[in-house]
């Protein structure tokens, strides 16, 4: 925030997630009930490879949705709602955000 002689510091945000946090979200919300152990392990391996970006959240949410509900029988609008809900749950329950304020950026 700038104004009245106040300068915003330089702030960086780092986001990460872990397979364990994604697993906790799946358990808490009853996700991935239609997948095999091998499919579940594959999804968790993808979590290690992908960051919690919009693309990463979408990819993992899609995998979770396909292994949670009767995906192929759903209308498109319902698929989108389910994906948004899962992405939101992942973002709130599995993504870790760390902030760093640079000292020389503060006045």
Per residue, the 3-state secondary structure of the chain, as one string, reads CCECCECCCCEEEEEECCHHHHHHHHHHHCCCCCCCHHHHHHHHHHHHHCCCCHHHHHHHHHHHHHCCCCHHHCCHHHHHHHHHHHHHHHHHHCCEEEEEECHHHCC
Question: What pLDDT shows up at residue 98?
Answer: 97
Domains of the chain, by residue range, sit at 11-105
Give the predicted TM-score (pTM) of the model: 0.85
Question: What pLDDT shows up at residue 3?
Answer: 55
Share of the chain above pLDDT 70, in %: 92
pLDDT in tens, 63-99: 999 999 999 999 999 999 999 999 999 999 999 999 9
Question: What pLDDT shows up at residue 104?
Answer: 72
């Amino acid at each position: 925030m700038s104004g009245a002689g106040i300068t915003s510091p330089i702030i960086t945000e780092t986001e990460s997630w872990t397979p364990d946090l994604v697993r906790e979200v799946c358990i808490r919300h009853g996700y991935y009930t239609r997948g095999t152990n091998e499919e579940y392990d594959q999804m968790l391996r993808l979590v290690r490879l992908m960051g919690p970006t919009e693309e990463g959240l979408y990819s993992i949410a899609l995998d979770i949705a396909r292994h949670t509900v009767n995906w192929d029988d759903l209308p498109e609008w319902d698929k989108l709602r389910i994906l948004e809900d899962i992405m939101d749950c992942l973002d709130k329950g599995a993504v870790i955000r760390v902030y760093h304020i640079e000292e020389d950026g503060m006045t």
